Structure 1
């Protein structure tokens, strides 16, 4: 069987490490750029949705969001129909920072695909979406307190 998870993990860690260094000048640390990007792309998202999108637990998401709010990148606003839900919106500072995150993402994507043809890139994207969907089921299963049977 092909071993795909180690290279995927190594790629993710390398790009996260690079981004953490490059976004330090914007006062973003430890993956906060990822949360800010998703909030800018989905204004009004609530914390549980964001946690699921990024594949982190609610507590981890809450800490990151609180830090972004303290640094004035995002603001929490109550939902109009359910006061328990706080919707997340980028502030002006967050919106001004987002294009830098987007540029870094586009550049990293370009570097990652530089020796790959357009057809190969399209195929890789399709396959990675399938892999992600496969893992998503297990992620939800384990997050509900279950253990996978090996």
Structure 2
């Protein structure tokens, strides 16, 4: 599976950690930036990571800023993206099972590396249940139109 990554300066350390985790677990990574702790604008990188998913270049995406809030909002502006901000594994599981989320947002200043590992693993390994949830996901897609 190929995963796009994006972050701002506040999420840089966490993005780098997640990148290492992904690569060590056999995932292919498309790093959409940023590439340092120099101050940048999170919408630029949230959008880039989301567009990689929306275009089909990547199957899933992960974005990180200090809280995860701003970058998740930016990612969700891209048509076809369902980005969920998660700070623990149960939310990551449920957003995959019920919402078929294709992007994960995390707050680099809110959670630690061990928690991030568990969230990422859960997000990437949980399948969408479909069924009644498919209808609801389709209703979300209709809003984007």
Shorter chain as denominator, the TM-score bin is under 0.3
Higher-helix-fraction structure = 1
Higher-strand-fraction structure = 2
Name the larger-Rg structure.
Answer: 1
Please, what TM-score do these two structures have when normalized by structure 2? 0.27
Please, what TM-score do these two structures have when normalized by structure 1? 0.26
